Amino acid sequence: MRKSYGDPIAEDLRFVVKSVVGEENFIDMQPNRSNNFCCGGGGGFLQSGFKDARLEYGRLKDQQIQATKADYCIAGCHNCHAQIHELSEHYGAEYGVVHLWTLICLSLGVLGPKEREYLRDDLKEVNVFHPEME
Amino acid sequence: MTDQPIILGSVKKDTFLDKVKELLPDGGNLNLCLTCGACSSGCPATGLENMDPRKFLRMAALGMDEEIKKTNWVWMCTMCQRCIYVCPMQINIPQLVFNARALWPREERPKGILGSCDMALRNESCSAMGTEPEDFKFVVEDVLAEYQEAQPEFADMQAPVDKQGAEFFLNQNSREPVTEPDEMVPLWKILHLAGVDWTYGSKGWGGENYCMFLADDDAWKQITSTSAKQAEDLGCKTFLNTE
Ligand code: SF4
Ligand code: SF4
């Protein structure tokens, strides 16, 4: 987001996230914005076969996320999602990693039981839309 | 690799660095390095393969093209561009890395990236999983019908493929239609509730482009052009890249 369109557009996305999870539940990682670190899933790294190097690259990102003590990390794309998900398991912190669309629909009350693959137990049963679909 | 002392000879003409400079606006500022190290100190790839961005640039500047051609590190820089952001001279190291990837014989580039690029070239979906256009269309229609019925609040929700004249053209990462189709639905719901007029394309719907990561410029262009042309043929005003 910030790479293609710059920090101002990323600020709009912050507005969306805060509106969805509530201002008090939003924690920016440090450093952030254009100073932030890449997770290591991009540029083809995820498919390059250099797994150990990729997890080592992601150590910084994992530490950043752990330092926020947040329960969930929102990932902006599929590469990030896959990489951060793996970091969460590999380094043992086990925070959830979600797509933004999941949280938007959860907050709107329209997230069905089969659309919750990446929610953890704490949110799996919350405000389920058409639970009979299970 | 660089445990050997570096012997400085006369710097060759027409080095790799010279060639990349010709390609980039302002030569990518590749001549302006102050060797301050700001790039390396904030690069998560620093230390992998005994390499870091400043070192990579210095090696290129010294004409050490053989070493540049050999290091696996070019596949470990994610081209995140953080080094450009912190560099006092805005030096474009990721472009240097990208062009170094292109020095590798195509079939020797990492198999995972190569395979995904070749899959995308197999048919007009441009999907890294090789999914055919008809299969994509089938999955979308099937999932949509299921949700329209099971969640009557969304009985009018649409997920069109090739809708002529739609405002927005959306692409789609192949992982969802192929391995977790229910994950496509939340985005459809958001677009529906926001009253957005959108469409997928039967051609060029795949959102990922591994040919770009592979540094295969022709294939990269082919995939991007297929998507762009489909959006154009459908008369869409805005291309929404969801990847
Ligand atoms: S930050 Fe820029 S000037 Fe400093 S060492 Fe890196 S490339 Fe050179
Ligand atoms: S673009 Fe590459 S060299 Fe620059 S900071 Fe990112 S990973 Fe490091």
The CA distance from B154 to the nearest CA of chain A, in Å, is 10
Structural domain includes residue A121: no
Instruction: Read off the tokens for B108.
Output: 């020797």
Mean pLDDT confidence for A79-107 = 97
Alpha-carbon A74 to chain mean position: 2
Q: Is B185 an 8 Å CB contact of chain A?
A: yes
Q: Rounded to the nearest whole angstrom, what is the distance from the C-alpha of residue A28 to the centroid of ligand 2?
A: 22
B44:A57 CB<8 A? yes
Among B46, B74, B78, B180, the strongest candidate for a mutation testing the A interface, having the largest count of A CBs within 10 A, is B78
A99 three-class SS = strand
Query: What residues contact residue A104 under an 8 Å CB cut-off, 6+ apart?
Result: A16, A20, B186, B190
Given a cut of 80, whether residue A4 has pLDDT beyond it is no
Alpha-carbon B116 to chain mean position: 12
B208:A111 CB<8 A? no
Structural domain includes residue A76: yes
In this predicted model, what pLDDT tens digit does every residue of A66-90 receive, in sequence order? 999 999 999 988 899 999 999 999 9
Distance CA B146, CA B174 (A): 20
Does ipTM come in above 0.85? yes
B185:A49 CB<8 A? no
Structural domain includes residue A91: yes
Q: Is B210 an 8 Å CB contact of chain A?
A: yes
| B233 half-sphere exposure, CB direction, 13 A CA radius | 13
Structural domain includes residue A66: yes
Percent of the residues in chain A that have a pLDDT greater than 90, as a whole number:
89
Structural domain includes residue A116: no
Structural domain includes residue A12: yes
The helix or strand, by DSSP H or E, that contains position A8, with its residue range, turns out to be helix A7-21
- pLDDT given for residue B12 in this prediction: 63
The helix or strand, by DSSP H or E, that contains position B68, with its residue range, turns out to be helix B65-70
- pLDDT given for residue B115 in this prediction: 97
Structural domain includes residue A131: no
- pLDDT given for residue A10 in this prediction: 85
Structural domain includes residue A128: no
For residue B168, report the phi and psi dihedrals to the nearest 5 degrees.
-110, 140
- pLDDT given for residue B4 in this prediction: 73
Q: Closest ligand 2 atom to the C-alpha of B46?
A: 8
Distance CA A37, CA A20 (A): 24
| B70 half-sphere exposure, CB direction, 13 A CA radius | 9
Total domain count, chain A: 1
Q: How confident is the model at residue A1 (pLDDT cuts 50, 70, 90)?
A: very low
A3 three-class SS = helix
Return contacts of A130-134, CB within 8 angstroms, 24+ apart: A130/B150, A130/B151, A133/B150, A133/B151
The CA distance from B182 to the nearest CA of chain A, in Å, is 6
A37:B44 CB<8 A? yes
Mean pLDDT confidence for B115-135 = 96
In the sheet that holds B238-240, the strands lie side by side as B198-199, B168-170, B238-240
The CA distance from B235 to the nearest CA of chain A, in Å, is 24
Of the candidates A24, A121, A119, A9, the one whose C-alpha atom is nearest the C-alpha of residue A74 is A119
Domain span holding position A39: 2-108
